[in-house]
Structure 1
Amino acid sequence: MMVLVKDRRNLNLRLPLPEGHQRRPAFPLPLSLSSVSSTGTSNLSSSAAGASFSDFKTLEVLGHGNSGTVYKVENKRTAAVYALKVVHGDSDPTVRRQIFREMEILRRTTDSPFVVRCHGIFEKPGGDISILMEYMESGTLDSILKTTGSFSETSLVHVARHVLNGLSYLHAHKIVHRDIKPSNLLVNRSMEVKIADFGVSRIMTRTLDPCNSYVGTCAYMSPERFDPETYGANYDGYAGDIWSLALTLMELYLGHLPFLLPGQKPDWATLMCAICFGDPPRLPDEASDEFRSFIGCCLHKESSKRWTAAQLLTHPFVNKDSGLDK
């Protein structure tokens, strides 16, 4: 009897590092702003143009992002409020690379109402970098989810429409975000949803430039990010953002990560195996046909079959009346 022996494929099982919240620098208050000089401030808004950092006072810490600590600051002359992202000059080299990457991207993305706006970039002689950004009063979608509970479909139509407009803009400028998730989507008092945190983004030099490095957050990563040998053939590099958006919308709807049970804590190996070997998650039966169809268009395991951001903006789900865009 003949036995067919199939070559065993070596799956790349390297795990990305978990979110480094314990390694992020925490800067004490008050933050001294008076000694900072501006650099590359051609993209300052009219409301911030001409202001020096001595014109600002620190109000509170908003949180710790992938690339530093974010403060709420106020212009003492105009009372305008901003978010100030600060990275110290002696920070980890990886963090420094991320912030310079973010600076490069922010200089390119000042024209979209669906991307958090940069009002100025400043450096201190010692190497500290500060980015003055639009303040989003209502926080992140992640914080709203934890405070108010799961989102209705009506609210998610609004979220999807805004994020897709932002992604369509970024992708048209050959920018891949690579870390779309609820904590990187910010909301202002007008309930506008905007994309933030470009610490792991990449500016693509070619349309088909592969983007399969192990960055971003494991739970939202697409199959080809883990296993490009199987799932990444001929994908265009932007499809990973679409996968992440679908999982984000599902999490907001379900109240938990789609690949986990309610209350289950993320386990990186479990998530990786579920993403690579399991079927894409599905919405429950009570979700509308349009919503389930939309998610299906985003979660093809073969990345080339996923709809683009521009195509998804024409989907019936996105064009339903959310009642929030008026």
Structure 2
Amino acid sequence: MREISTAALQMGPIQKSESRAEVVARMISLLEQAHAAGAVFAVFPELTLTTFFPRWYVEDQAQVDQWFEAEMPGPHTAPLFARARELKIAMSFGYGELTPEGQHFNTSILTNREGEIIGKYRKVHLPGHSEYDPERAFQHLEKRYFLPGDLGFPVWRNLGGIMGMMICNDRRWPEAYRVMGLQGVEMVTLGFNTPSVNSQMSSEGPEDRLFHHRLSCQSGAYQNATWVVAVAKAGVEDGHSLIGGSLIVDPNGKIVAETKTEEDEMIVHHCDLEACNFGKSTIFDFKRHRRIEHYGLITQRAGAEPPD
């Protein structure tokens, strides 16, 4: 076996008024719980350090920048990295990244057990819109506050396995999983902040949102014979509700652990990476079965164009 004892560390709501120090203290508490449960790898959500700020329309760039990190680790996150090093636990978490060039990305990082950053991913599939939309029940302005990711979908060797990252809406796009699958990925980590109600269709509530979330994670895991660890920031933030449903999915697409609340919560599973081998060598043996000569439209065309 090549087993990675993995903790999905769900975060409850983070209010606008909550400081980085308070959030990092919560993260450290969850990290310590994960270590006590035997985990060597801990996965936190998308935008772990702040409220989900794209729900607000803000014109003052200085106010927007307060939600971003100019360095990682920085003064607020250094205690988290120090504790992870002490516990010898690797981690992945998401945050708003402000680059030295002044660019803004929705970013996730991967560390090893020594607390060293070995991987970075920037969210590719940004949902929502860029200008205020009066027709929506609330705003979803990721296209306003972030640039599309420019690093692609790389993978890294860590903890004896091959790991990749994606963020929230990426899970709905099979291409994201497949690009990593073609690099032999064995575990995909995924942080998300998903509103409990669709801002453009109020009839799509938490039950439907959780259904589509599970469907996306399970199909991606099965079709690429990989573990998927999906972790939420959940609960009611400043009056806006986010779903929970943090889960761990095995390479057969089965959910093996799932959170039960919308608060800070830990689930742990011993993920045997050898479980990926059967799918990768049989039905999803890409080298034997893929017919790339027929897939050209996937990279040649972005939008659908029905025939005349």
Query: TM-score scaled by structure 1?
Result: 0.28
Higher RCO (CA 8 Å, separation ≥ 6 residues): 2
Name the one with the larger strand percent: 2
Query: TM-score scaled by structure 2?
Result: 0.30
- Structure ID, larger Rg: 1
